[in-house]
Structure 1
Amino acid sequence: MSSEATGKPTLTVTSGLSRNAIIIKLEGELDVNALPIFQEHIQRIWELPPKPFLILDLGEVSFCDSMGMNELVHLMQRCEAQGTRLLLGGVQGVMARVLSITGLRHAFEVFARFDDAMRLAVTHA
């Protein structure tokens, strides 16, 4: 059952660090009910020393509504303001469709595989 039906968020957010990237993995539904979880996690990320790259692994995102997309746009703008490149990895299925439908596919640096986003970050160390 979706978080919209239950009113409970169904999103898991985890993160890690590499030499020059902060990596955030999202699993589940990125929707209005999950935004507080995502925003709280992102707020902690902004408290860390900046890295050249912020990589979002979206390979396990099963749903994304307009509020979720709005949050990704806000994240992109914040990254640009501080000189961090935002890379979206694992963009397939649901996320590929949402980015295409909204016309935001070319606004982000998008990679079908998370490993390809990581490779870019590593080679630009």
Structure 2
Amino acid sequence: MSSEATGKPTLDVASGVSRNAILIRLEGELDVDALPVLREHLRRVWELPPKKFLILDLGEVSFCDSMGMNELVEILHRCEARDTRLLLGGVQGVMARVLSITGLRHAFEVFAHLDDALRTAVAAPP
């Protein structure tokens, strides 16, 4: 059942930290109701010392509205201000379509598979 029907966010957020990257996995609907959940998680991430990469795993995102896309753009700007490269991994299906339709596909570093985004981060010099 969507968050629109229940009025409750249907987004799960989890993260991990490696040598030069923070990985955030999103699962569910990235919509206006989910933004408080994502922003609270990101608040803790922004308090950490900056890493070279922030990887968003979007492979399990089943829906993304304009507010969700707006939040991704805000994350991109925040990363740029911290000299952190934002990589979007698992971009297929819904997210690939939304990025294409909005014209934002080329604003982000996009990888169809999360493993490719992870390899990019691991291969980068420290």
Which TM-score bucket, shorter chain as reference? Answer: over 0.9
Cα distance in 2 between the residues matched to 1:90 and 1:18:
19
- The ranges of structure 1 where at least 4 consecutive aligned residues each deviate by more than 6 angstroms after the TM superposition are none
Cα distance in 2 between the residues matched to 1:36 and 1:13:
11
Normalising to structure 2: TM-score of the pair?
Answer: 0.98
- Give the aligned length: 125
In structure 2, give the amino acid aligned to 1:38. Answer: L
- Give the structure 2 partner of residue 94 of structure 1: 94
In structure 2, give the amino acid aligned to 1:114. Answer: L
In structure 1, give the amino acid aligned to 2:22. Answer: I
Pairs within 5 Å for 1:61-80: 61-80=61-80
Are 1:121 and 2:115 counterparts? no
Deviations 1:93-118 (A, max 9, x none): 00000000000000000000000000
Are 1:13 and 2:13 counterparts? yes
Cα distance in 2 between the residues matched to 1:116 and 1:18:
16
Q: Which ranges of structure 2 fall in alignment gaps of 5 or more residues? A: none
Pairs within 5 Å for 1:41-56: 41-56=41-56
Normalising to structure 1: TM-score of the pair?
Answer: 0.99
- Give the structure 2 partner of residue 81 of structure 1: 81
Deviations 1:68-122 (A, max 9, x none): 0000000000100110000000000000000000000000000000000000000
- Give the structure 2 partner of residue 108 of structure 1: 108
Deviations 1:36-68 (A, max 9, x none): 000000010000111000000000000000000
In structure 2, give the amino acid aligned to 1:113. Answer: H
- Give the structure 2 partner of residue 39 of structure 1: 39
Cα distance in 1 between the residues matched to 2:43 and 2:88:
18
Give 1:27 deviation, angstroms.
0.2
Cα distance in 1 between the residues matched to 2:93 and 2:100:
11
Deviations 1:21-43 (A, max 9, x none): 00000000000000000000001
In structure 2, give the amino acid aligned to 1:105. Answer: R
